[in-house]
Amino acid sequence: MKIPPSDRVTIGDIEVARLLDGTLRVDGGAMFGVVPRTLWAKRAVPDNENRITLALNCFLIRTPDTTLLVDTGVGPDIDRRYADFYSFERNPGLFGLLAGLGLEPADIDIVVNSHLHFDHCGGNTLRTAEGKWNPAFPKARFIVQRGEWEQALHPVERDKPSYLPARLKPLGESGVLALADGDTPLAPGVEAVLIPGHTAFHQGVKVVSGGRTLFYLGDAVPTAAHLELPYIMSYDLYPVETYNNKKAILERAEAEGWILAFSHDLRHPLGSLRRAGPRLEFVPAGEASAPKKV
Ligand SMILES: [Zn+2]
Find, among 228, 242, 231, the residue nearest to 293 by Cα: 228
Report every protein residue that has its C-beta within 5 angstroms of ion ligand 1.
Answer: 119, 219
Distance 117 CA to ligand 1 centre (A): 7
H or E element that contains 280: strand 279-284
How high is the pLDDT of residue 1? Answer: 87
Å from CA of 120 to ligand 1 middle? 6
Cα 276 to ligand 1 centre (Å): 30
How far, in Å, from the CA of 89 to the mean position of ligand 1? Answer: 16
Pairing of strands 177-180, 141-145: parallel
pLDDT of residue 278: 85
* CA of 79 relative to ligand 1 center, distance in Å: 17
- For residue 278, the CA-to-ligand 1 centroid distance in Å is 30
pLDDT at position 47? 96
CA distances to 96, 217, 261 from 100, rounded to whole Å, are 6, 26, 22
Whole-prediction pTM: 0.96
Angle at 72 between CA 211 and CA 3, to 5 degrees: 60
CA of 164 to the centre of ligand 1 (A): 14
What is the Å distance from ligand 1's center to 219 Cα?
5
Q: What is the Cα–Cα distance from 269 to 216, expressed in whole angstroms?
A: 10
Q: What is the DSSP letter of 127?
A: E
The series of mean pLDDT values per 10 residues for the chain, 294 residues long, is 95 98 97 96 95 98 98 93 92 96 98 98 96 96 98 94 94 96 98 98 98 98 96 96 98 97 98 91 82 67
The CA 38 to ligand 1 mean position distance, Å, reads 23
